[in-house]
């Protein structure tokens, strides 16, 4: 369990990092927190020719308000920083629920917000959360820069729209509308373990207590995080009711997910879990939306 030989670069500015990535092309790989990449390298499953280490670029780690009233999070912000930032938790209670579920405290001390999104593990929480919170992702390379919606970012398991010379630089979370509530429900075998299934729901009510927006994202039951279309269809414009939540849960479990069987769980069990968790998360999220939490 030792990695194959690789080159290592430690740029001290974004510009220098982008130059290096452009120069290395497919040979280069960004090292952020290293909590997924380094084990994969030790297993020799990942064999990058060169690492471009972003840990010496302090300007990539920050949490700051945006002019629209949201938050901008620098790609190298440690998960534990996000977890313990009162402003983040106040504005996005969903992150308050999710962050403690990302592996263990030691891992969150190293793991980064941007790294987790760019890694695009279908069992990872932050890719799904970026979709649930409708994040905008700022991507830069030596030759171009662009904004991509989180919903358009993930293309497959561990695959994204990022080109080899691209860097995910910043994640912008737009502010919640009034009467928005959220809930995160996860079942994993153990505390800090991979989600066998998880659901993040962010819902908004209008003035008549009808559903205005419903973003229900499923984790660990497909190639990428899945934003449910059926939830939106069934709920938007309607009064949220237990019957509707059940209908959504059944529709999602039956049609929108593709869970796998592995040594820990059957696909049937995962499907069943999704149904249970969707119902639970919608119940709580709407309740919170009503209370204005």
Partner 1 sequence: MAGKYFGQPILRNEDAQLLSGKARFIDDIDLPGMLHAAFLRSDFAHARIKKIDYSAALKRSGVVAVYTAEDFGDFWRPGPLQVPPPTAIKGSVFNARTLVPIAKDKVRFSGEPLAVIIAESRYIAEDAFDDIIVEIEPLDAVNDLEKALEPGAPLVHEDLDSNLAADVVQERGNYEEARAKADVVISRKILVNRNAGAALENRGFVVEWEERSRQMTVWATTQAPIPLRNTIAARMGLFENQVRVITPFIGGGFGPKIMTSQADDVLLPWIAMKLKRPIKWIEDRRENFLATTSERDQVHYAEIALTKEGTILGVKDVFYHNTGAYDPYGMTVPLNTQTHTVSNYRVPNFYTQIKMVFTNQMVVTPVRGAGRPQGVFVMERLMDAAARELNMDPAEIRMKNLLIPDEFPLRTGIIGQDFVEGVLDSGNYKKNLEKTMEIVGYEKFRKEIQPKLRAEGKHVGIGIVTFTEGTAVGPYEGARVTIGANGKVNVATGISTQGQGHFTSFAQIVAEQVGIDVKDINVVTGDTAHFHWGAGTFASRGAAVAGSAIHNAAVKVREKIFSLASKIFEEPEENLEVGDGKVWVKSNPSQSMLLGDLALRANPTRGTIEPGVEPGLEATAYYGPPYGATGAGAVAMIVNLDPETMQVKVEHFVIVHDCGTAINPMILEGQVYGGISMGIGNAFYEKMVYDDNGQLLSASFMDYLMPQATDMPAKMELGHLVTTTPLNTLGIKGVGEAGAIPTPAAFVQAVEDALHGQVEIMESNLNPSRIFEYLQKKQ
225 neighbors 217 (Cβ within 8 angstroms): yes
Is the Cβ of residue 18 or residue 198 nearer to partner 1 in the bound state?
198
Q: Is 106 exposed, middle or buried (0-12, 13-18, 19+ CB in 10 A)?
A: exposed
The least distance separating partner 1 from the CB of residue 235, rounded to whole angstroms, comes to 21
| 187 forms part of the interface with partner 1 (CB under 8 A) | yes
Place of tokens 């534990």: 80
| 239 forms part of the interface with partner 1 (CB under 8 A) | no
Select the residue interacting with partner 1 from 14, 22, 63, 276 (CB under 8 A). 276
Select the residue interacting with partner 1 from 10, 193, 223, 283 (CB under 8 A). 193
Q: 253-272: which residues touch partner 1 (CB under 8 A)?
A: 263-266, 268-270, 272
Select the span of 72-80, 92-100, 184-192, 229-237 touching partner 1 (CB under 8 A): 184-192
The residue count for binding partner 1 (CB under 8 A) is 26
Select the residue interacting with partner 1 from 167, 203, 214, 273 (CB under 8 A). 273
The least distance separating partner 1 from the CB of residue 109, rounded to whole angstroms, comes to 18
| 1 forms part of the interface with partner 1 (CB under 8 A) | yes
Is the Cβ of residue 44 or residue 144 nearer to partner 1 in the bound state?
44
| 209 forms part of the interface with partner 1 (CB under 8 A) | no
Q: 73-132: which residues touch partner 1 (CB under 8 A)?
A: none
The least distance separating partner 1 from the CB of residue 245, rounded to whole angstroms, comes to 14
| 245 forms part of the interface with partner 1 (CB under 8 A) | no
Q: Record the tokens describing residue 1, joined without a space.
A: 């369990």
| 229 forms part of the interface with partner 1 (CB under 8 A) | no
Is the Cβ of residue 8 or residue 207 nearer to partner 1 in the bound state?
8
The footprint of partner 1 (CB under 8 A) covers: 1-5, 43-44, 187, 189-194, 196, 263-266, 268-270, 272-273, 276-277
């Amino acid at each position: 369990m030792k990695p194959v030989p690789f080159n290592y670069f430690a740029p001290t500015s974004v510009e220098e990092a982008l130059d290096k990535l452009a120069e290395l092309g497919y040979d280069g790989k960004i090292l952020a927190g290293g909590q997924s990449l380094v084990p994969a390298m030790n297993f020799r499953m990942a064999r990058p020719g060169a690492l471009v280490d972003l840990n010496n670029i302090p300007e990539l780690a920050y949490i700051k308000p945006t002019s629209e009233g949201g938050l901008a999070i620098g790609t190298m912000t440690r998960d534990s920083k996000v977890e313990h930032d009162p402003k983040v938790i106040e504005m996005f209670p969903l992150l308050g629920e999710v962050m403690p579920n990302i592996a263990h405290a030691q891992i969150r001390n190293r793991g980064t917000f941007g790294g987790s999104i760019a890694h695009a593990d279908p069992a990872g929480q932050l890719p799904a959360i970026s979709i649930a919170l409708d994040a905008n992702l700022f991507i830069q390379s030596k030759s171009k820069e662009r904004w991509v919606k989180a919903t358009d970012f993930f293309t497959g398991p561990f695959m994204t729209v990022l080109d080899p010379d691209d860097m995910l630089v910043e994640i912008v979370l737009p502010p919640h509308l009034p009467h928005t509530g959220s809930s995160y429900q996860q079942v994993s075998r153990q505390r800090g373990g991979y989600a066998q299934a998880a659901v993040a729901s962010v819902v908004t009510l209008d003035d008549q207590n009808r559903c205005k927006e419903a973003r229900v994202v499923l984790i660990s039951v497909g190639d990428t995080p899945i934003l449910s279309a059926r939830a939106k269809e069934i709920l938007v414009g309607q009064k949220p009711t237990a019957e509707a939540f059940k209908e959504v849960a059944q529709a999602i479990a039956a049609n929108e997910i593709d869970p796998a069987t592995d040594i820990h769980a059957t696909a049937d069990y995962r499907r069943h879990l999704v149904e249970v968790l969707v119902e639970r998360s919608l119940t709580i999220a709407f309740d919170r939306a009503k209370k204005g939490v």
